[in-house]
Structures are given as C-alpha cells and as structure tokens.
C-alpha cells in the first residue's frame, strides 16, 4: 500500500525536465544540425582523453588540431555520440561549424534551465570564489547547483560549461577570464548572469592591456550581459571601485560592495585566526550580522568569503548554508591545497599554489605563508608571466613580502626572477636584520634539485607558487607522490 503522503508529494517544474543531459534530437534542434543515429548523453567533452561513458564528444577544429581525428578514440572510451562538421562512423549530429554549435548548445542549456546565474571575473580569486560559491549554493539547493569546472573560462570553456548544465539546475556559477579587452563582453552575452562578481583588480595580463585602469574596464564588461534587474558585486577596497561602480550603474545594475571598507555593504567586522589556520569572521550583511568560519587559511580568503556571502544574499539563499560550506571548503589543487609530506624526521607542510601567479596573488600567498606556524618557511617562486615592460619591477617588489613573511629560504625559478635575485643580493637583510637566503634557477627541475639540497625537516612549511607555464606543478607532484 502506498502512503497517502507520498501520493501528495508536491510537483515542481523541474520534474518535467528530462533526466538525460541531451538527446540527439535536442542537440540538433539547438545547433541546427542533422541527426545521424539516435543517442542520449550524460555529459559533454571536447578533449577525447577526458571522455567518459555516455559523453557527447565535440570535435572542435583549431589552427593546429582537428578534433575529428580523435572521434574514433572518443567512441572507444565510451562516448555515446559526437558533434561533428563532417560525417564519421558512429551516432552523431552533423553541423557546419562545431565551435558555433557548441556555443548554440550552451545557449540552449542556459535558456531551458529555470535557474539563477552568477558570473564571476577578476584578476585573482576567480576560481576559488567560484568553487566556494558553488559549494554554498549546492548546499542551499540540496544538490541543484551547477558550475564550470577547473578554469574553463575562455571562448571554449564557457560554452562548454554552459552546455553541461542539467535542465533541472536551480543555480549556475560560471567563471569568465580574459587576456584582451572585449573578451569578457563576448562571454557575458552567453552567460547572461543575474548576479555578476568582480573579485579584484590586479596587474594580471597588464602586458596586453597596458594599465590597471584598462584591466578594470575590461573586467567591468561582465556587467554588459546582466539580466534585467541584475546585481553587480564589486570590491569596495579596490582603488578601481569607482570605475567598476560607474560602469555597473551605466549598464543598469544594482551595485553591492564588499570588503573591509567602512562603507561596504558586506563588510568584515572582526577576524580571529584559528589554530588550524582558518578564520572565524564576523560580517555585517546590510542590517544583519553573520558569524561563520572559513577553513582555508590566508587573508585573501576573507575577500573570497565576503564575495560569496554577498552573492548568496543577492540571490536570497540560506546564508547559514553558505557559512557551513565555507567552513568545510578545502584548498584546490594548484590554488592553496595543503599537503603533509614525509621528511627524514617527521612531516612538513606543502602549500600548492602552482597553477598561476601575478603580483597580487604572490603577495597574498606569501602573507599566508607568513601566518603559518613553521620551523622554517621556504618559498619556491616561479616567474610571473604577461607583465611586459613592468616585469622587472613587479618581480623585484616581491622582496618586501618575502621579508614580511619571515621566509628563511627562497628558490626563484625562471629568467624573469633575475630582478628579484638581484635585489635580494643587494639587500641581504631587511631593516630588522632578517636575512632571506636564496637560489636562482632557470627551470622547475633545477628548482627541485635546489629544494632537495635544503634537506626538508620536520615542521618546515614550503610554498610553491608560479605561473602555470613555469611547470612547478611537476615539482608538487614529485613531492606528493603524484608523478
């Protein structure tokens, strides 16, 4: 016998949506393609090496690579169907241009899901804030949130992330990045966010954009795609706050600010550092106060957390669930993940920040290292890329945060680090007589050899940070047994 309460279970609009992510007919309808063989898929993938059982493989054509060469391999790995611009063996949807078709599929996914969407950009903190916000919304919606994975934030990653959105999603969180002006504008028209966050403005990609002011204006393009009545969330502590504020208002957005500034709408009132390195925060949320903890160490996580709370408040979701999610969140690989590694007489701490680096994130990571209890603090710093004519100055200026963090040994990696090595060589100690011993290496493999010579000991803390192209992720993998 079925209990009457079960028969009366309330129906929701999402219940009418299909369980499969896409079927061949819906893909064809979205892309204007032709079906060759019926199929259903549970995922979308553009890298044949990452294809899983039941995926749709999209064969993109690039300047040097044609995905159609890997269609057979994708089917061998379990692909249920393919999106192609030339006939292939196996069930597929045939279109004229697979990149345009991927964008159309993303647009169809955005249109069919009755969800609130958050777009995130900024010079630093995009991916960390995206992951934290996803965790908060997923908890509040009991698993009905969707987010872009990794750093899929460019002209291919954004439509790919959109196309993966389940029709039953209640929230979507999408990251948007750029190297040049105009790129965010194109991406935000696809995402069409209800809430747009700018995490921070820093001299990342300054080689291409020329100045921080230009970077701020390029990031503010995210407001152009806001849905009617959309909300812009911007950092009150940024020197470019007025620029962001004015551009958001010009695009018709309601503006909410976050930060330490007294006039911020979402502002930090008090921070207590906990024994595990996390923080207990008291935050003013308009007229309310909220107390919660963040598990990730570092002052930069305060800004990330405030942005997350601002977004959850703007969306009207459960702030208590957001606080619990922030407390449980752990560091991401390459972006703050902490590893305990075995050394001769015990264990040492490895902080993995190997995915990316710019002057602002370098300072934040070194400040985090300075707050970490350790017998010795060791920094393996890779070069910061795309700084152009400003490169020498920004690298040399890392001497101050090195001294402030009480770093005992520094291993500098890459030719761009010559400017910092030169300054450290001239300034063997700071005003208090603190010395930073350093080694300058050209490659990541040489850095690993230099680190081995230090002979890591119990209670040492090692920070590894640099631009991804320097290759320090391999050093981290070697130390953690990941290679």
Burial of 415 (0-12, 13-18, 19+ CB in 10 A): exposed
Binding-site positions for ATP read 122-128
Those residues with Cβ within 8 angstroms of residue 441's Cβ, 6 or more apart along the chain or in another chain: 411, 412, 413, 447, 449, 450
d(CA 186, CA 191): 9
Distances (CA, A) of 258 to 197, 235, 243, 313, 430: 10, 5, 15, 12, 34
Q: Is residue 184 left, alpha or beta, with left meaning phi > 0 and alpha meaning psi from -120 to 50?
A: alpha
Question: Which stretches within 192-271 are classed as H helix?
Answer: 206-209, 212-219, 241-250
Find tokens 């130390």 and name the residue: 479
Tokens of 182: 């105009």
35 strand-pairing partners = 93
Closest C-alpha among 317, 139, 134, 124 to residue 235: 124
The whole-angstrom separation of Cα 304 and Cα 300 is: 7
Task: Tell how far CA 146 is from the center of its chain.
Answer: 14
169 vs 116: CA distance, rounded Å: 9
What is the spatial distance between Cα 393 and Cα 265, in angstroms, rounded to a whole number? 35
SS3 243: helix
Alpha-carbon distance 144 to 152, whole Å? Answer: 20
Provide the phi-psi class of 298: left if phi over 0, else alpha when psi is between -120 and 50, else beta. left
Give the strand pairing for 409-413 and 81-84. Answer: unpaired
- Binding residue numbers: 122-128
Cβ contact 299:361 at 8 Å: no
Q: Is there a contact between 109 and 163 (Cβ–Cβ < 8 Å)? A: yes
């Amino acid at each position: 016998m079925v209990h009457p309460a079960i028969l009366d279970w309330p129906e929701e609009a999402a219940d009418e949506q299909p369980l499969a992510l896409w079927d061949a007919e819906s893909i064809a309808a979205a892309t204007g393609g032709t079906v060759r063989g019926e199929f259903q898929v549970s995922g979308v993938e553009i890298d044949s090496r990452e294809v899983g059982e039941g995926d749709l493989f999209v064969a993109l054509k690039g300047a040097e690579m044609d995905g159609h060469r890997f269609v057979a391999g994708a089917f061998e790995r379990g692909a249920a169907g393919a999106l192609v611009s030339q006939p292939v063996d196996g069930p597929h949807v045939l279109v004229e241009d697979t990149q345009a078709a991927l964008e159309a599929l993303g647009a169809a996914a955005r249109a069919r899901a009755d969800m609130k969407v958050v777009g995130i950009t900024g010079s630093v903190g995009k991916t960390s804030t995206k992951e934290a916000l996803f965790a908060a919304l997923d908890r509040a919606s009991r698993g009905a949130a969707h987010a872009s994975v990794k750093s899929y934030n460019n002209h291919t990653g954004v439509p790919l992330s959109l196309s993966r959105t389940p029709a039953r999603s209640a929230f979507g969180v999408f990251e948007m990045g750029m190297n040049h002006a105009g790129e965010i504008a194109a991406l935000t028209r696809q995402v069409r966010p209800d809430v747009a966050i700018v995490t921070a403005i820093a001299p990342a990609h300054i080689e291409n954009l020329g100045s921080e002011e230009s970077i701020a204006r390029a990031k503010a393009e995210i407001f152009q795609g806001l849905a009617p009545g959309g909300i812009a969330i911007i950092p009150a502590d940024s020197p470019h706050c007025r620029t962001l504020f004015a551009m958001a208002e010009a695009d018709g957005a309601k503006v909410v600010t976050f930060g330490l500034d007294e006039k911020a709408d979402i502002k930090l009132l008090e921070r207590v550092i906990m024994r595990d390195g996390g923080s207990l925060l008291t935050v003013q949320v308009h007229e309310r106060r909220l107390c919660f903890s963040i598990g990730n160490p570092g002052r930069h996580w305060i800004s990330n957390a405030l942005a997350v709370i601002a977004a959850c408040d703007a969306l009207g979701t459960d702030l208590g669930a957001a606080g619990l999610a922030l407390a449980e969140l752990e560091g991401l690989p390459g972006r703050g993940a902490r590893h305990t590694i075995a050394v001769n007489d015990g264990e040492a701490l490895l902080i993995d920040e190997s995915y990316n680096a710019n002057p602002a994130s370098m300072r934040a990571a070194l400040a985090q290292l300075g707050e970490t209890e350790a017998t010795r603090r060791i920094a393996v710093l890779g070069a910061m890329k795309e700084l152009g004519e400003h490169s020498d100055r920004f690298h040399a200026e890392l001497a101050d945060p090195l001294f402030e963090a009480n770093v005992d040994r520094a291993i500098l990696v890459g030719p761009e680090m010559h400017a910092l090595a030169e300054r450290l060589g001239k300034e063997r100690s700071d005003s208090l007589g603190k010395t930073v011993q350093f080694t300058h290496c050209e490659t990541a493999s040489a850095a690993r050899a230099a680190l081995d010579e230090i002979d890591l000991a119990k209670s040492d803390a090692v920070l590894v940070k640099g631009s991804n192209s320097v290759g320090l992720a391999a050093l981290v993998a070697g130390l953690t047994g990941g290679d």
